[in-house]
Amino acid sequence: MKKQIAIFLGLVIMSSLTFSTPQSDNEKGFVSLFDGKTLNGWKLVRGHGPGYVVKDNTIVCPADGGGNLYTEKEYANFAFRFEFKVEPGGNNGIGIRAPLEGDAAYQGMEIQILDDQHEKYKGKIKSEQHHGSVYDVIPARTGFLKPAGEWNTEEILMNGSRIRVTLNGVIILDADLSLVKEAEVLKKHPGLRNKTGHIGFLGHGSWVEFRNIRIKKL
């Protein structure tokens, strides 16, 4: 009887270990870019104030901090997943295929992180400045951002000239950058033709938090 009980308990323990930390098919191939404790693997460029800080397993851009916090590694084709929340009127951005020097929104690309329904933005920003847009170039669909203070999930997929942004399970932008051919736009945004570069958080002087930051190379 004791032997049967021991075997039963062993099976229960093995079962709990098997199912406690499963990796769904949707997450296969993704690796974490943030250890939850330090900014190892990241490089702060043109930081101000406290820059970025780590708190409760999140990367925080304080209202009096910010700058550009880039991955030390460069990425070409990838799916970049993360969660974020903003304060009311919060403003940040995700730099992709960006160099360490220069303005990421132009020398690379910036995907907007913005509480665009806040009063201070209503009627005052262009369509291509709303959350999820390729800043100043391609507008995203609006209306899928959760209220300030709530966590959002987002994925940015870059594969060749294809870019897709998914917010809270909804595709809000799906575009082919090679179709951007206007000479003035390309002169202003040479980074649209970049093949690789760094990924980064682009702080704009407001409180924004990031967590569960991971990437899959394509």
pTM for the model? 0.88
Chain segment 74-90, per-residue pLDDT in tens? 999 999 999 999 999 99
- What is the mean predicted confidence (pLDDT) over 14-28? 55
DSSP secondary structure string for all residues of the chain: -HHHHHHHHHHHHHHHHHHHS---GGGTT-EES--SS--TTEEEES--TT--EEETTEEEE-TT---EEEESS-BSSEEEEEEEEE-TT-EEEEEEEE-SSS-HHHHSEEEEEE-TTSTTTTTTS-GGGSTTSBTTTB----S-PPPTTS-EEEEEEEETTEEEEEETTEEEEEEEGGG---HHHHHH-GGGG-S-BEEEEE--SS-EEEEEEEEEE-
- Radius of gyration for the alpha carbons in the chain, expressed in angstroms and rounded: 20
Q: Does residue 3 fall inside a structural domain?
A: no
Range with the lowest mean pLDDT among 15-19, 23-27, 92-96, 134-138?
Answer: 15-19
Q: Is the pLDDT of residue 202 over 80?
A: yes
Domain count across the chain = 1
CA angle at 44 for the pair 39 and 47, rounded to the nearest 5°:
125
Q: Does residue 186 fall inside a structural domain?
A: yes
Instruction: Tell me the pLDDT of the chain averaged across its residues.
Output: 91
According to the model, what pLDDT value does residue 25 have? 81
- What is the mean predicted confidence (pLDDT) over 61-73? 97
Q: Does residue 7 fall inside a structural domain?
A: no
According to the model, what pLDDT value does residue 161 have? 98
Q: Does residue 208 fall inside a structural domain?
A: yes
- What is the mean predicted confidence (pLDDT) over 85-108? 98
Q: Does residue 55 fall inside a structural domain?
A: yes
Q: Does residue 5 fall inside a structural domain?
A: no
Q: Is the pLDDT of residue 129 over 70?
A: yes
Q: Is the pLDDT of residue 31 over 50?
A: yes
Q: Is the pLDDT of residue 122 over 80?
A: yes
- Look at residues 173, 183, 162 and name the one whose alpha carbon lies nearest to residue 138: 173
Q: Which residue has the higher pLDDT, 23 or 48?
A: 48
Q: Does residue 22 fall inside a structural domain?
A: no
Domain that holds residue 171: 29-217
Q: Does residue 46 fall inside a structural domain?
A: yes
Say which CATH number the domain at 128 has: 2.60.120.560
